[in-house]
Structure 1
Amino acid sequence: MKIQVSADLTYRFPEPTQIIGLVEAAYSADQIVVSEKLTLSPKVEVMSDAGLGGERRFRTCLLGDVTITYRAEVDNGDRALVPRNARQHLWGELPQEVLPYLLPSRFCPSDQFQRFALREFGDAGDGAGRVMAIMEWIGRHVDYVPGVSTAETDAAHTFTVRAGVCRDFTHLGITLCRALSIPSRAVSAYAVDLQPPDFHAVIEVFIGNRWWLVDPTRLAPVAGLVRIADGRDAADIAFLSSDKPCNLVSQAISAEWID
């Protein structure tokens, strides 16, 4: 399926500020970037390179009011949902590059949740059964409420307050999956049908010998996701990182099916 995505981000930089931007659609096996254009206004030189997962970060130094504009047409094929028979792997069966996603990270303290996860989801089957049980639990017990979390909120806090936004749902889902020894990572994406339109955070789990996308918020169809980047948690996939304080002036994000 083909999807048109766009991002218009205006920031104010009071002094020269180094930034890393992460808004371009990834070059990955599950999607093809048909066409795209990244511009910064006023025009500045940028350095851009691709990571091992196909994510693309651009780097530059900015001052004053700057608008970052990105447009792309992406074909993400026919994304499959997690099959019910996808099994969980023993640690010895996992590829080396998957192993870091078994471990706790800054926003996902999975080591603190092992007893709860085993008690709550240990009998839910194997692999896909456990993942779906975790998603069902989050759907029943966590409310989608903007404004109750901050950039510093971790999964333990979300577990306590039982509310948050996509980032918080994702961190909690990752934490519970890792607590059950299911490799799990955060994915940033453009998302068709997401309301209000914004960058979206979802989960990817490694079961059945591959990675599968899952949206714990259930706010956007997996078929309508355009991958930007993946990482251990939100710290790895922020759409803008800077070495000095800056202010977001305006933001407009969209993702639409192309007939």
Structure 2
Amino acid sequence: MKLDRRLTPANARVAAAALKGLVEAEAYVEGEAACVRAPLTDICRDPAGDRERQLLMGQRVVVYERVAGWAFVQAAADGYVGYVPEAALGAVVAPTHRVSARLSQLYPEPTIKCRETAMLSFGAQVVVTGQEGELCETPGGFIPVQHLTEIGTRTPRLEVAQLFLGTPYLWGGNSGAGIDCSGLVQAALRAEGHDCPGDSDMQEEALGEAVALDAPVAPGDLYFWPGHVAMALDGARLIHATGHFMSTVIEPLEAALARIEAAGYALRARRRLG
């Protein structure tokens, strides 16, 4: 059985205990739970290597190794494996709210007139401990109440996707500061309550049911090309984060299909979630 490196918590030194007998490693460990405490952190293939995806504040991980300031982790939400700066992690918390604006501010004091200490992306999770006026208090600072929603609240996927319109394209991006095609789909589907893998090929394999390429379009249908995914807004328009425009855009469906095919990428699949 061939294991997907991106989803297999193993390196040359350590591996998850459950992988004993499947992969070779010097040690097999159970790992320890942790939470991302940084506003945003890259998850990299190698320590200090290229970004593969990103993790947001409040997301849980299992840590299998800590070495030279880096932690080898697996994300709890989608199983993605890689290295994050050890300083980006903290103790496990039970978030009460998530950021529902594309971007929000974190203030050190209960006033919007002070200088913010960080920006938080849509999907970041926090523990709200109180409220002062129009700001919610968290252990890390204060966040506008208008920018938060309770954990468990479901938001329609197309509403979330359109929230990211104009967001710069960023390879491996998962935030309101920069996002890629699969990151946009993952953010939209998670907000609606669906589990969703991190990369477009994984999404093509795991999400929904296959639909004929020429079947009538339903809002929310996912279109897959090699290395790319887009979401139908309706029968005439797609929304996607694309390197062609370096942005999240709405594009006419027929124009997008023709443009991408002309670039040498044939439409490979359509998938539909309930």
- The structure whose residues are more often helix, as a share, is 1
TM-score (norm 2): 0.26
Higher Rg: 2
Higher relative contact order (Cα pairs below 8 Å, separated by 6+ residues): 1
